[in-house]
Chains A and B, each alone.
Chain A
Amino acid sequence: MAERLLEIDNLRVEYHTDDGVVTAVEDLQLHVEKGQTVGLVGETGAGKTTTALSIMRLVPAPPGRIVSGSVHFHGEDLLHKRLDEIKKIRGNKISMIFQDPMTSLNPVLTIGFQIEEAVVLHQGLDARAARARAGEMLRLVGIPPEREGDYPHEFSGGMRQRVGIAMALSCNPELLIADEPTTALDVTIQAQVLELMKRLRQQFSTSMLLITHDLGVVAEVCDQVAIMYAGTIVEYADVNTLFTNPRHPYTRGLFGSIPSLDEEVTRLNPIKGLMPDPTALPSGCKFHPRCPMAGEICKTRVPQTTNLGQGHSVHCMIYEGLVPGYEE
């Protein structure tokens, strides 16, 4: 078995707002093995970004608070490290690509400087070497190095995201967290950026946690997939298993809502209901109000993780034998 690079256990993150306490992440289990790309899939508000920010210890506090759990990176718990130790990891061993390239670059600093900054900080390069490194990174992401003196507003969205990728990879991190890196981009640019990330990830042999709500992106890029719903991982499997044999009713619902190219479809087939109000999550299994298979027990009992073998795990009472399941 490959080495576990990142292992998240029982993570719980809350936001204390005026409307009450929002539990954004609850009892979350997730791991990333060395060299793998893990997709973290879920709807908006499922807690994907909070999970990512927790790994970096960047959850805005207040209002956010990591209540309990552990995040082991190379066997060391990041949640119990001192802040100055975390800062040596941020941008160096673990780096992050953000969702919106239009707002995640500093508008008053040149892109070259924004890349050099991390290199100077973590690798101790002098100004000249850092500039050379920044130029090299820009070339790798397909931006002419001569443009390093330009400011973010002089680039398109796709190019800015390339700058973000160059910045994130500049210190050759072991883990790259990409938080919906293509969501804010045009569809045609999305494919380019994904392709670039895939290529560079292999070139730099970086492990990746890819956050997305796009199953197409998952199929394209990921080795393993974690499906997240209302703060917890409901199903975890390798990409093949998940796409051919989804188990959790929510995962099935996600696939069921994708229209098929072969059939004549007049109405889409969505999952019924809405994401629950985060300040008043349902009791028991959080998916039960929307679940077509839900039984009485689902309203009260929290499902445990069931291991289905070959790394496929699911968080549902059907597989604990407590609720009648699907007819195969």
Chain B
Amino acid sequence: MHRYILRRLFLLIPVMFGVSLVVFTIMFFTPGDPAKLMLGERAPEAEVAALRAQMGLDDPFPVQFGRFIFNAVRGDLGRSLVTRRPVFQELYARFPATLQLAAAGVLVAVVMGIPIGILSATRQYSAFDAASMGIALVGVSMPNFWQGMMMILLFSVSLGVFPSSGYGTLRHLIMPALTIGTSTAAIITRMTRSSMLEVVRQDYIRTARAKGLSERVVINRHALKNALIPIVTVIGLQFGYLLGGAVLTESIFSWPGVGRLMVDAIRQKDYPVVQGGVLLLALTFSVVNLGVDILYAYIDPRIKAQYK
């Protein structure tokens, strides 16, 4: 198991290298001269050329890419063209907010999604099942930005319960977390339901019932653990995705996270920040995936046996 984790961590190196290559290549061939961007449209040609030389922008692609990797390995992702601050610091300052929002959103989703999914499955075709599946469909279909705006209208403008923007306290967190949480909850509910429905038809559930166990024990002890693999997969994917920054939700609630930083960076052609952000996204995604794979082993001993 430990060897498996070490091997997976080691595999992160080629993954990150590959992502770097792709991102750097795209940025390299994107039109627009960073030196010109920094100095402004009307800067004299000589000054721009001097800055280009200084920044090494005239070097051939492999040299530039090599330099980028060499610096990135040491934690230096370059400087923002706009703020002139190191990209690493920019991301580092924003990441806690994103992590907080992602964790809160997933927590809301898990707390709502799994119990509702289980109840729906155990009462298949009941009124409860129909209602929760209907709500889940609405939850999946409702765009986050629209839901966010509606919540602001209701809770901030009309009722004045929660602040419409900002970051720092629990009251700030509730609306964005709910916005993210409801759509994720809908996905988790549906996955839990279908996975449970699959599992309760299995022979070993009949065996458990034949032992005289109560329905609660049959479901919670025998069925749920078997149903968890696809549920955990979905939670992991959602969490990884949110860690890259819930772009729309962060924008609506002026949440100072990585997602908003990226949107601003793209708009301002602040390519070192974009590069750094994508790398961070790839890294968090890979780490979350690894976490999910490790979790699999604790859920299913058959998977653990394969991790030798």
Contact = CB atoms under 8 A, between A and B. Distances in A.
A148 to B, nearest CB: 14
Contact of B204 (A89, A90, A103, A153): A103
Interface string A109-121: 1000000011001
Nearest to B226: A108
A151 B211 contact: no
A122 B213 CA distance: 9
The 7 closest A-B pairs by CB, nearest first: A91-B211, A90-B212, A91-B212, A103-B203, A151-B301, A106-B204, A104-B203
A108 B297 CA distance: 10
Interface of A: 56, 58, 87-92, 95-96, 98, 100, 103-109, 117-118, 121-122, 151, 153-154, 164, 167
Contacts of A89: 212
Given A100-B203, A104-B204, A118 B211 contact: yes
A106 B208 contact: yes
Contacts of B225: 108-109
B212 A103 contact: no
19 contacts: A58-B209, A58-B210, A90-B212, A91-B211, A91-B213, A92-B212, A96-B210, A104-B206, A106-B208, A107-B226, A108-B299, A108-B300, A108-B301, A109-B225, A118-B213, A122-B212, A153-B301, A153-B302, A154-B305
B222 interface: yes
A121 B203 contact: no
A87 B213 contact: yes
Contacts of B214: 87
A122 B212 CA distance: 8
A103 B202 contact: yes
Interface string B185-213: 00000000000000000111011111111
A87 B212 contact: yes
B213 A98 contact: no
Given A100-B203, A153-B305, A56 B210 contact: yes
Given A100-B203, A107-B226, A151-B301, A117 B213 contact: yes
Nearest to A122: B212
Contact of A98 (B206, B226, B301, B305): B206
B233 to A, nearest CB: 16
Given A58-B209, A104-B204, A108-B300, 12 more contacts: A87-B212, A90-B210, A100-B203, A103-B203, A106-B222, A108-B301, A117-B211, A151-B301, A151-B302, A153-B302, A153-B305, A167-B207
Nearest to A89: B212
B204 A118 contact: no
Given A92-B212, A121-B211, A167-B211, A107 B204 contact: yes
B302 A121 contact: no
Nearest to A92: B212
**Which residue, A98, A106, A151, A153, has most C-beta atoms of chain B within 10 A?**
A106
A105 B226 CA distance: 12
A296 B302 CA distance: 60
Which among B212, B214, B299 has the highest number of chain A CB atoms within 10 Å? B212
Interface in B16-70: none
